[in-house]
Amino acid sequence: MPTAHEEFADLRQVMALCGELSSLATADCDLQRIVAVVGERAGVWAAVVDDSLSVLARSAKAPDGDGTRPLGEVLESDPETVAELVAAAARMHRALSLPAAGAAAVSLVVAPILVGDDSVAYLVTAGHDADETGEDARIMVTEHAAMVCAVVLARRRVVAIAAGRARRELFDGLVLVGDRTEADVEAWARHLGIDPGSRHRVLVVAPHAATGPPAPAAVDAVEHMVASRCPDATVVNRGTEVVALVPGDDDTGLARQLIALARVCHDAVTGRFPDVRVRAGLGDAHTGAARISTAYGEARRAVDVSRVLPGFSEVTSFAELGVHRLLAQVRDPAELGGFARDVLGDLIDHDRANGTDYCATLTAYFQQNGSPQRAAALLHTHPNTVAYRIHRAEKIARLDLGSYADRLAAQVALEIVNGLGDNACATS
């Protein structure tokens, strides 16, 4: 049992440490410096972790004479318990402690690092507390250090927001403002760090929720993934979408890489945010700053087409759109579905009622330029079977594929059916 004198001495040490930490808030320090001071002065392990318990900064070594394990081992030994403590601290917006269980164990203290109302990270300390007074002192120190961490992170956030807003305004001016000279466009490109003469593609990744705008965290996650995987790209977070202007002369190889990156973003975001969907569009390759707006418009059009025509993949290249670039201008999908029903309604109903695949056969037949042999190879059937199905489809749909008008109408209707998906042409 500590004496009153000992308790007073301990309190003075705590106040001195809190004062030292407060002085760091006014200095240009980082999280590593803060946890180092906490670890050295308080005689504990200290670390800043995120929601997934990934360590953002940690104290360098164990306090002298302390037999505790490194905090990384503590976090890994029972991550579920630590995660529950972190979640509770975030929910209650205050520091919480987990007493030691056994002589070899350590007690944990977790304090949320609050920027506004958001718990952006957590300060965790681990060590042996001699008594209840020592535990209370460590809670006080951990909570105060977390507040200092919040000042540092808030300062970073302000700088990042300001830089992001400036970059967004420059990009919007580059691609959305017309009636400017080529020299003006090149000057804006240089402000964004873009070589005005470079060849480039634009990738747009647009998370969206079923109702309302997507969570900012989903857009931020996309921005981080794109920026980390495309270090040479100019990446702009526009609030509802992330735009990447990627330089490169290998048109085909770069396109494949960016399509693969968009799919990685799609899978990662939809896995983390179940209510968010992701659409991505890739523009064609263009050279020169004056063509950046064209490249962005193409990528944006690809995203819009995949939304209007959900039969498309979530990741779409402008080069793949074909006639769908025009079909997507009809903003009401019901209008498109109505046209498809007028042309192929009887055939669609027959396929659904009888389990036939005449629409699929027609699609393959048109894709192979009217060749039953090539369509048969695509469908893994006999050319005579294809010829029979085409003849039956003409009869059921009351079409004459030898007529230019009927043939064109059937091809457009099939593109609509395949683009809108299975329920697009359902009977109303």
Mean pLDDT of 338-354: 88
Q: Is 177 left (phi over 0), alpha (psi -120 to 50) or beta?
A: beta
DSSP 70: P
> Which segments of 166-305 are extended strands (E)?
199-209, 234-237, 242-247, 276-282, 286-287
Provide the pLDDT for residue 260: 92
Which band of pLDDT confidence, cut at 50, 70 and 90, is reported for residue 261?
Answer: very high
Pick 309 or 151 by higher pLDDT: 151
Could you tell me if 288 and 197 are in contact, meaning their C-beta atoms sit under 8 angstroms apart?
Answer: yes
Which band of pLDDT confidence, cut at 50, 70 and 90, is reported for residue 19?
Answer: confident
* Spatial separation of the C-alpha atoms in residues 338 and 333, rounded to whole Å: 8
Answer whether residue 5 shows pLDDT above 50. Answer: no
Greatest C-alpha distance within the chain: 104
The CA-based angle 285-206-248, given to 5 degrees, is 25
Please report, rounded to a whole number, the percentage of residues in the chain having pLDDT higher than 90: 15
Taking the CB of residue 415, how many other CB atoms lie within 10 A of it?
21
Answer whether residue 292 shows pLDDT above 80. Answer: yes
Provide the b/e sequence for 217-228 (b: ≥16 CB within 10 Å). Answer: ebbebbbebbee
Answer whether residue 174 shows pLDDT above 70. Answer: yes
Provide the pLDDT for residue 130: 56
- Residues paired with 143 in a beta bridge: none
Average pLDDT over the chain, rounded to whole?
81
Domains, the chain, in order of start with CATH, read 4-158 (3.30.450.40), 193-327 (3.30.70.270), 333-420 (1.10.10.2840)
Pick 332 or 140 by higher pLDDT: 140
Answer whether residue 304 shows pLDDT above 60. Answer: yes
Structure tokens at 164: 């992001």
Provide the pLDDT for residue 122: 92
* Spatial separation of the C-alpha atoms in residues 230 and 245, rounded to whole Å: 10
Which band of pLDDT confidence, cut at 50, 70 and 90, is reported for residue 320?
Answer: confident
Sign of CA dihedral 415, 418, 424, 427: positive
Provide the pLDDT for residue 173: 76
Average the pLDDT over each of 234-238, 391-395, 417-421 and give the range with the smallest value. 417-421
Provide the pLDDT for residue 3: 54
Average the pLDDT over each of 7-11, 95-99, 273-277, 372-376 and give the range with the smallest value. 7-11
Specify the length of the chain in residues. 428
Mean pLDDT of 53-59: 84
Average the pLDDT over each of 157-166, 241-250, 364-373 and give the range with the smallest value. 157-166
Q: What is the pLDDT of residues 118-152, one digit of tens each?
A: 888 899 988 876 556 567 888 888 999 999 888 88
Nearest to 22 by CA among 149, 140, 124: 149
Provide the pLDDT for residue 428: 43
Which band of pLDDT confidence, cut at 50, 70 and 90, is reported for residue 281?
Answer: very high
Provide the pLDDT for residue 106: 75
Provide the pLDDT for residue 104: 47
Q: What is the pLDDT of residues 103-113, one digit of tens each?
A: 446 788 999 99
